[in-house]
Amino acid sequence: MRHIYNLFLYLILPFLPLGLLWKSRKNAAYRKRIAERFAYFDFPALESSIWIHAVSVGESIAAVPLIQDLIRDYPKTTIVVTTMTPTGAERIQKIFDGQVLQLYVPYDYPFAVKQLLRHINPKILILMETELWPNILYYSAQRSIPIILVNARLSDKSFANYKKISFFMQSILSCITSVAAQSKLDAERFLALGLDSKKIAITGNLKFDIKVSDDIFVQAKQLRLAWGKDRPIWIAASTHKAEEEKVLQAAKIVREVLPESILVLVPRHPPRFNEVFDLCREQGFEVIRYSEHQKCLTTTNVILGDVMGQLLLFYAASDIAFVGGSLVPWGGHNLLEPAALAKPIISGQNLNAFLEISQFLTDADALIKVDDAASLAQKLIQLFKDKTLQEKLGCAALDVVEKHRGVTKKILTSIKKLICV
């Protein structure tokens, strides 16, 4: 089966650079460092490394505490962090500022994978969540490199798709040394696909180990003063196409009751920043762009968060958080960032990507779910008028985060055992 997979890869090889150029229409970063995607590097081969692969922004953020601990515990070993998207690459580069070697992961061709492994010589391969690339796994195992899948999860869709090729998945999973699953359900799904039960442990979700620096609170206080210390401010974070319209509709209803209110709108994907800015203006909002350092006036009612890497700051400077990807069939986004800042959290009903986390928050009465723009506006108005309820919900959310911390330590223990093998 792997041979058929490789044949397909070689058939599409000529089109991959064209695909990158096509994507670069909206994000110029896709035109850069293309050679890395075929395992051609401009640095000398490493003696050894610890290789972590985090495909994009979400996985990169989740991996941060683990990477920080690996830097601390293995100061003489190069930490290589690969991503697939420019946004993930930018986040890693910004957070670690040269402490790690950030690369684009090569496409899963045998020649590229083997060249990468020769060049970085990993002691261990740490894969985030569900990065199951057949050749990366096969050739790493061939070199006796321990492979651990951490924060492992299988969504309904992924599980259904993998079940169709379960005979192939069993051979892929046999290459993995250890799996640290987010939940019991995830563990059961990996076992159903043929993973050896001796290889799996349920460690929890790394996202609970989120760290908020003191600088965030200092900067948030300054930002809040600039936006309006006493103005009601709410954030709609990681929103998607067709979701912004609902959010703006809710903002209009809120403004009828609270005319001084401000919406901080942060689209999930940077290529859509201009599109969402134009949408705000078309809807009649007085909108400013955060990236242009425009002054927030008394007439300003929307601030477009058109930058990367500042979401925690925006959450901290807001009173109430709506987490997007949940009023559209996407599956939601990370609810733990506002929770770690003790913010009251609102989301839509579509939370398939965060079922366990959303259930923890729901059980603790720390998450409000809404169906549409009208119910979103209603809950916002209720919370803005009831500071006691705001504080109660925020504290309950923070308690959930604190209760489930410690996942990084468990995973780090497993990694150290594998490195020593």
Give catalytic residues, as residue numbers. 59
Q: Are strands 302-304 and 345-347 parallel, antiparallel or unpaired?
A: unpaired
> Which residue is associated with the tokens 């090729």?
165
Q: What sign results for the dihedral spanned by CA atoms 271, 275, 276, 281?
A: positive
C-alpha 421/C-alpha 415 separation (Å) is: 10
C-alpha 155/C-alpha 364 separation (Å) is: 24
Q: Are strands 200-202 and 178-181 parallel, antiparallel or unpaired?
A: parallel
Nearest to 116 by CA among 185, 195, 35: 35
* 172: its two tokens: 């892929």
C-alpha 2/C-alpha 175 separation (Å) is: 13
Helix 57-73 with 407-420: angle, nearest 10 deg: 60
Contact present, 406 and 111 (Cβ < 8 Å): no
DSSP 3-state of 120: helix
DSSP 277-342: HHHHHHTT--EEEGGGT----TT--EEE--SSS-HHHHHHT-SEEEESSTTTTT----SHHHHHTT
DSSP 3-state of 13: helix
Residue 147 falls in which region: left (phi positive, over 0), alpha (psi -120 to 50) or beta: beta
